[in-house]
With several copies, the nearest count.
Chain A
Amino acid sequence: MSKNVEFVVKSIADTALKNEQYFSDLDAVCGDGDFGYSIARGFEKVLTEWDNIDRTNPGTFLKEVAKIIMSAVGGVSGSIWGTTFLRAGMTLGAKEEVSKEDIVPMLRAVIEGIKKRGNCDLGDKTYLDTLVPTTDVIETALAEGKDALEILDLATQVSADAAEATRPLIAKKGRAAYTGERSIGTLDAGSVALATMIKALNEAWRA
């Protein structure tokens, strides 16, 4: 099975655990302060069961990761991050290996899945607002024939900018939405988490 897929999932999980407090604090500004805790518990369970996850192929592996998250984490985070891995896995189907060409279709499938499950769209101040521009830049870079390290650098930069760009938005989904205009000027926790995960992945890849 593709070691790269495992590497990416492991890196994301590690980042979620390392930043538990930071992500919760971000969510506490306008939300209910549970975001970091929630995803940390989900990814913690993924790491606990790491060795026993079905590795028949990368698609199955990702779907199993999704199920673990959905049985461990409730509400928005469980549904959204579960959907993320579920859609990515479903896109791969029974393929033995993941190739460059699979990346963008996987990300687009994730975006569609989240839009449906979360009943949300761009500009709602959710993690979509970072995922979409990041996917766009990856798509362009792949088309331009850039290599993995170049693409990771670009994705790190664009996701960081996109997360920062959630500041002026009004939160329209999740518990942060209840504060209305008071959410203006604050960062979307989910977006910062995604940017942080990409940055950490970039660093891990080079290490």
Chain B
Amino acid sequence: MKKFVNDPKDFVPEMLKGIALANPDTLKYIPEYNLIMRKDIPMANKVSIMQGSGSGHEPAHVMIVGKGMLDAACPGNVFAAPPADFVYQTTKLVAGPMGVLHLLNNYTGDTMSFDMGRELAEADGIEVRTVVINDDVAVKDSLYTIGRRGVAGNFFVIKAVGAASEEGKTLEELEAIGNRVVEVTRTMGMALTGCTPPGKGSPIFTLEDDEMEMGIGIHGEPGRKRVKIEPANKIVDELFEAVADDLPYVAGDEVALMINGMGGTPISELYLLYAHAHEIAEKRGLKIKRNYVGEYCTSLEMAGFSLTLVKLDPELERLLAAPAEIAIRTF
């Protein structure tokens, strides 16, 4: 296992400790619940926003806690939804008078934990609303009763409700904004390699030297189909078509375009991919108002990327452009 790790069981807590040590003025770390939260939360005039999800998707979600983004994140172990108890305890800790918004990527495990956590918090009199994110077009709604997965598109939901919550919007308003973003966001991903959870010690799946996996999730789950590696532009073509034709996004639409790295793909390659995605978008008549190239929601050290389109309206564009501060930063 080619990883920086001490005891694999300490992988997540040691990472969380690092985040807290690097941001002593703004963040609080509560080891019992894998919890990273803003120090200045709860606030009287602001809904608190939290997300759980498994670990292994960093920077999502523990590293995007901060002003204008998440107020707290309580991830489970690597690729495992948080225990229901984490969700409950975190909800209690962040709850202010305006209530708590739960964001969750649509997976059975996360849904179960957040359902149980929410029930317990509501029993304590805390008002909770939930936005379920399911932007992955690789998994079709009709085919599986659990519905589409939530993947890198969750960034846009977080950014929009995060900005709106700083403006003092109510829980209902935030829920509506979150759902509106989900409706206009679509993603598809692919991988050149598998990835190795520290607790497992070996790759979840392996691909031959000339193979890639299309329609991958963010937990190392195999995807839609395994095919021979193609030139970068061909791969972008395929993902772009699957994503753009799903909503669909049509000529004249104003959009945000994201190329999200899966953890092991260098940023040089992500910009190469962006170049072609940008050109396809323009050829289709889409107007790129905002673009995102980098790592937003990863699968440990997996080599691969996902492509996300968001259809913008003036309010959403304003929320995406609003300033925000998060744990990870360049300067």
Do chains A and B directly touch (beta carbons under 8 Å) in the complex? yes
- 187-233 of chain B: CB within 8 A of chain A: 197, 199-200, 204-205, 217, 219-223
B110 CB–A CB distance under 8 Å: yes
Specify which chain B residues have a CB less than 8 angstroms from the CB of A80 in the assembled complex. Answer: 112
A59 CB–B CB distance under 8 Å: no
Specify which chain B residues have a CB less than 8 angstroms from the CB of A32 in the assembled complex. Answer: 79, 204, 217, 219-221
A179–B80 touching, CB < 8 Å: no
With A74-B83, A75-B81: A174-B9 Cβ-Cβ less than 8 Å: no
Instruction: List the count of A-B residue pairs having beta carbons below 8 Å apart.
Output: 128
B112–A118 touching, CB < 8 Å: yes
Assembled-state Cα–Cα distance A28/B219 (Å): 10
A118–B108 touching, CB < 8 Å: yes
A75–B109 touching, CB < 8 Å: yes
With A33-B204, A37-B197, A180-B144: A175-B77 Cβ-Cβ less than 8 Å: no
Q: Among B78, B109, B112, B149, point to the contact of A178 (Cβ < 8 A).
A: B149
B155 CB–A CB distance under 8 Å: no
With A33-B79, A74-B77, A75-B108: A178-B200 Cβ-Cβ less than 8 Å: no
Q: Among A30, A75, A118, A174, point to the contact of B222 (Cβ < 8 A).
A: A30
B76–A74 touching, CB < 8 Å: yes
**Within the complex, what minimum Cβ distance (angstroms) separates B204 from chain A?**
4
Q: Among B52, B80, B145, B219, point to the contact of A172 (Cβ < 8 A).
A: B145
B317 CB–A CB distance under 8 Å: no
A19 CB–B CB distance under 8 Å: no
**What would 9 A/B residue contacts be, using CB atoms closer than 8 Å?**
A28-B200, A34-B79, A37-B200, A38-B80, A72-B83, A77-B80, A78-B81, A118-B108, A176-B221
B116 CB–A CB distance under 8 Å: yes
The residue in chain A whose Cβ has the minimal distance to the Cβ of B204 is A33
Specify which chain A residues have a CB less than 8 angstroms from the CB of B110 in the assembled complex. Answer: 75
B139–A79 touching, CB < 8 Å: no
- Contacts A30-B221, A75-B113, A174-B108 supplied; 11 other A-B pairs, CB < 8 Å: A28-B204, A36-B200, A37-B199, A74-B52, A74-B77, A74-B80, A78-B81, A117-B112, A175-B219, A176-B221, A177-B108
**Within the complex, what minimum Cβ distance (angstroms) separates B112 from chain A?**
4
Assembled-state Cα–Cα distance A71/B77 (Å): 12
Specify which chain A residues have a CB less than 8 angstroms from the CB of B116 in the assembled complex. Answer: 70, 79
With A28-B204, A76-B108: A71-B220 Cβ-Cβ less than 8 Å: no
B83–A71 touching, CB < 8 Å: yes
Specify which chain A residues have a CB less than 8 angstroms from the CB of B200 in the assembled complex. Answer: 21, 24, 28, 33-34, 36-37
B143 CB–A CB distance under 8 Å: yes
The residue in chain B whose Cβ has the minimal distance to the Cβ of A179 is B222
Interface residues in A, total, Cβ within 8 A: 38
Specify which chain B residues have a CB less than 8 angstroms from the CB of A21 in the assembled complex. Answer: 200
B143–A180 touching, CB < 8 Å: yes
Specify which chain B residues have a CB less than 8 angstroms from the CB of A74 in the assembled complex. Answer: 52, 54, 76-77, 80-84, 86, 109, 113
Query: Contact mask B128-148 → A, CB, 8 Å, 1/0?
Result: 000000000011000111100
Interface residues in B, total, Cβ within 8 A: 39
A182 CB–B CB distance under 8 Å: yes
Query: Contact mask B72-97 → A, CB, 8 Å, 1/0?
Result: 00001111111111100000000000
With A70-B84, A178-B221, A180-B144: A34-B199 Cβ-Cβ less than 8 Å: yes
Query: Contact mask A61-91 → B, CB, 8 Å, 1/0?
Result: 0000001001111111111101000000000
Q: Among A24, A67, A71, A177, point to the contact of B146 (Cβ < 8 A).
A: A177
**Within the complex, what minimum Cβ distance (angstroms) separates A105 from chain B?**
24
Specify which chain A residues have a CB less than 8 angstroms from the CB of B82 in the assembled complex. Answer: 74-75
Query: Contact mask A160-184 → B, CB, 8 Å, 1/0?
Result: 0000000000001111111110100
A58 CB–B CB distance under 8 Å: no
Assembled-state Cα–Cα distance A80/B52 (Å): 18
The residue in chain A whose Cβ has the minimal distance to the Cβ of B78 is A34
- 172-207 of chain A: CB within 8 A of chain B: 172-180, 182
B107–A75 touching, CB < 8 Å: yes
The residue in chain B whose Cβ has the minimal distance to the Cβ of A74 is B76
A108 CB–B CB distance under 8 Å: no
- 21-46 of chain A: CB within 8 A of chain B: 21, 24, 28, 30-34, 36-38, 41
The residue in chain B whose Cβ has the minimal distance to the Cβ of A117 is B112
Specify which chain A residues have a CB less than 8 angstroms from the CB of B76 in the assembled complex. Answer: 74-75
Interface centre among A173, A174, A178, A182 (most CB of B within 10 A): A178
